[in-house]
Amino acid sequence: MTSTADTVLVTRTLEGERNAFGELVDRYQKVVYNVAYRIVGNELDAEDVAQTVFMKVYENLATYNPRYQFFSWLYRIAVNEAVNSKKRLRKSVELTEDSIRAQSTPLEGVVAMDVENQIGAALMSLTPENRAILILRHYQEFTYKDIGYIMDLTEQKVKARLYSARQRLGKILIQKGLNTEL
Amino acid sequence: MNDQHLNLIQAEVDGLNSDSESARVRSLIADNSELRCSFDELNAVKLAIESLVEKEPPPTLRASIMNAIPERETERAPVAETTSWWESIASIVTSPKPVSLAYAFSLGLIVAFVVSTVLMPPTISTNTDQFLGSMGTVNLSGFETIAEFAIEEEEEEDDREGSVKVHRNASLIVIEFTWNSGRPVLASITYDEEYLGYTGTTVAEESSNLKTTTEDGEVTMSSDGPLKQFVTLTVRDDYEGENELNFSVTSGGRSLLTRSLWVRK
């Protein structure tokens, strides 16, 4: 069975059909939540961001331009909201070794879990924009062009920023000795 | 190690190189330990992020979203209708009379709208409040215009003319940039990211080769001709004191405007 195209669901939502929007939520809530989580760094804020993103999508649906893929437009809103939300909070996200240990439960003594936590923590020590670009490229596998649209950057700047973000994260991973774990 | 090498290495990590480019990367990293280190580092980052486990959203998320959205009145869909205009007109003729009349009335309204927009001076509708970088305009009702800078320079054959207007309410600052010349223009706005956040841009009129980029507290806009664009900044909750917004406009390598504006919460 083929799923209904996003643009059809958008049209039906605009015609007043709430269930159509519900289908879009079903389809994309997981990716929006995950992008938000990786940018804001905790579950509560990620949930708030995801909810706000879908509210904004709903409110601005009439302005969606079908020339772009719906999910690219959705990501654009999600990344914007998550990055801005993180800046609004302006809480320190420089996770120290102590805070990484504090996050761990006894079960997380398992090496794989520890590495996952530490990579997450290393990611959180980057700026929200750098986190976003790495997540879009490696976690969601967007092309440079799509990332450019989502983050309002030229393709050249995407490449430059991606390189710089990778270098920064690479150095942190080396400092933590995590590069050898991979 | 130069930019070309770095681009090649990055493209290799991203799996975007051709066979010959991949062979070149292999040769480069075999001969150059610095490049080898960079390549290994980028690969380690890639593997690290790909190893992150996807999280399940909370089971209540969907319900909380659906409960929060209001009932919607029917709006114009952005997707093209499948019925062609001549089929629509034909259906008016063949419809029962009351329906035909209703359609005819609607058609009359559409014709009047087309005539008024094509033959009358254009007016900007103010029916959207979205700031996501698409076409439209910004509803400025409730905003106060706090500054207006004119850009005027007379040239022998072409005047360079435009304006920068700054509007604000309690939580948003909207910068309206207008450029009326057929010459290329580059405008930039810089702001303190600690107190102001970039929300988005709205392009009010089609423009030739328009580009907008944002980076580290700077929004730049460029086009090859007339341009009208709104840039929206959010005033952060913890905004303190007075902070500077800077505007600059250049055209053909000449600086036409350099102004600062101090903004208080």
A123 lies within 8 A of chain B by CB = yes
Mean pLDDT in residue range B186-200 = 83
Find the CB nearest A119 among B52, B237, B238: B52
Residue A2 scores a pLDDT above 70: no
Residue B170 scores a pLDDT above 70: yes
Q: Do B130 and A76 touch (CB under 8 A)?
A: no
Q: Do A60 and B62 touch (CB under 8 A)?
A: no
Nearest CA in chain B to A24: B62
Q: Do B61 and A33 touch (CB under 8 A)?
A: yes
Q: If pLDDT is split at 50, 70 and 90, which confidence band does B95 have? A: very low
pLDDT of residue B111: 58
Q: Do B197 and A54 touch (CB under 8 A)?
A: no
Q: If pLDDT is split at 50, 70 and 90, which confidence band does A93 have? A: very low
Find the CB nearest B215 among A10, A134, A153: A153
Ramachandran sector of residue B253 (left: φ over 0; alpha: ψ -120 to 50; beta: rest): left
DSSP annotation string for A3-70: PPPHHHHHHHHHTT-HHHHHHHHHHHHHHHHHHHHHHH-SHHHHHHHHHHHHHHHHHTGGG--TTS-H
Residue, of B24 and B124, whose pLDDT is higher: B24
Q: Could you report the per-residue pLDDT of B105-138, keeping only the tens digit for each?
A: 556 666 555 554 444 433 333 233 333 455 667 7
Could you tell me the pTM of the whole model? 0.54
Q: Do B213 and A13 touch (CB under 8 A)?
A: no
A124 lies within 8 A of chain B by CB = no
A162 lies within 8 A of chain B by CB = yes
Nearest CA in chain B to A51: B65
pLDDT of residue A26: 96
With a pLDDT cut of 70, the percent of chain A lying above it is 81
pLDDT of residue B157: 58
Q: Give the C-alpha separation, B222 to B211, whole Å.
A: 5
Q: For residue A150, what are its two tokens?
A: 């989502």
A135 lies within 8 A of chain B by CB = yes
B220 lies within 8 A of chain A by CB = no
pLDDT of residue B208: 74
Residues on chain B touching A182 (C-beta within 8 angstroms): 44, 47-48, 51
Beta strands per DSSP E along B154-241: 160-168, 172-179, 185-190, 196-203, 211-215, 218-223, 227-235
Residues on chain A touching B134 (C-beta within 8 angstroms): 63-65
Mean pLDDT of chain B: 75
Q: Lowest mean pLDDT of A95-99, A118-122, A172-176, name the range.
A: A95-99
Find the CB nearest A157 among B49, B51, B213: B213
Q: If pLDDT is split at 50, 70 and 90, which confidence band does A24 have? A: very high
A179 lies within 8 A of chain B by CB = yes
Residue, of B58 and A175, whose pLDDT is higher: B58
Q: Which of residues 137-166 of B touch A (CB under 8 A)?
A: none
Mean pLDDT in residue range A90-104 = 43
pLDDT of residue A163: 93
Q: Give the C-alpha separation, A101 to B226, whole Å.
A: 57
Q: Do A152 and B50 touch (CB under 8 A)?
A: no
Residues on chain A touching B50 (C-beta within 8 angstroms): 138-139
Residues on chain B touching A134 (C-beta within 8 angstroms): 45, 49
Q: Give the C-alpha separation, B94 to B89, whole Å.
A: 9
Residue, of A132 and B123, whose pLDDT is higher: A132
Most confident of B50-59, B121-130, B240-249: B50-59
Q: Give the C-alpha separation, B127 to A44, whole Å.
A: 33
pLDDT of residue B83: 37
For residue A24, give how far its alpha carbon lies from the nearest alpha carbon of chain B (Å): 10
With a pLDDT cut of 70, the percent of chain B lying above it is 71
Q: Quote ipTM for the complex.
A: 0.80
Q: Could you report the per-residue pLDDT of B214-229, keeping only the tens digit for each?
A: 777 888 888 888 888 8
List C-alpha distances in Å: B241 to B148, B195, B238, B265: 22, 10, 10, 7
Mean pLDDT in residue range B76-97 = 42
Preferred mutation among B16, B45, B202, B213 to probe A, highest tally of A CBs within 10 A: B45
Mean pLDDT in residue range B21-37 = 90
Most confident of A62-66, B117-121, B235-239: A62-66
Q: Which of residues 222-261 of B touch A (CB under 8 A)?
A: 234, 236-238
With a pLDDT cut of 90, the percent of chain B lying above it is 14
For residue B153, give how far its alpha carbon lies from the nearest alpha carbon of chain A (Å): 30
A113 three-class SS: helix
